[in-house]
Chains A and B, each alone.
Chain A
């Protein structure tokens, strides 16, 4: 079974600085997808960014980018120019060729003014 591990239960960053959230996963498959979701205090789950395993280029979405290391099974999220609105719980998720997602335990990000 696939597992997703987020080893940082909590992280903090100063406003306008950069922070990186870590995620590792375990799989024997070669074709899969990885995601980062954001959950603010409103509890809504918001898709932040997606990475296809077959793509070598790291995905970017505005201030959010990933560092995808397929051989190391690592998928970190970098948030640049952090804003107060980035404060949230962040979840890493994995999906293989089926439709089911496996989530990590989450990292609580605090942004300090």
Chain B
């Protein structure tokens, strides 16, 4: 258990509405990530953060924005949800291990359905 929680765990929303997903960690790790998981695609990186107010885009960032105003929280916002954003969203943190190795640990996921 890497001390990562996500909220909400499930959400159904309508096309065109804004949605914010929250990721919270308890261990002050610097790096945090948002992924989406879709059948046949594995997990794909949306955005990540390397510190407070420091964020960067991943491979599928269109339609998403993020914010990190404090170390423990990383928010993912869909400004105007579309049906193509129906997915399972995972938050992750990066934990330093021996040498220069980092390992990513994941939250429980949020299932988002856009109708």
Contacts and interface: CB of A to CB of B under 8 A. Distances in A.
B50 interface: yes
Contacts of B40: 105
Given A43-B88, A44-B108, A105 B103 contact: no
Which of B31, B33, B42, B43 has its CB near the most chain A CB atoms (within 10 A)?
A: B42
Interface string B98-109: 010111111011
A43 B109 contact: yes
Interface size class of B (residues with CB under 8 A): 20 to 34
Which label, helix, strand, loop or mixed, suits the secondary structure of the B interface?
A: strand
B42 A50 contact: no
B42 A103 contact: yes
B74 interface: no
B103 A103 contact: no
A99 B94 contact: yes
B43 A99 contact: no
Interface of B: 31, 33, 40-45, 48, 50, 58, 88, 90, 92, 94, 97, 99, 101-106, 108-109
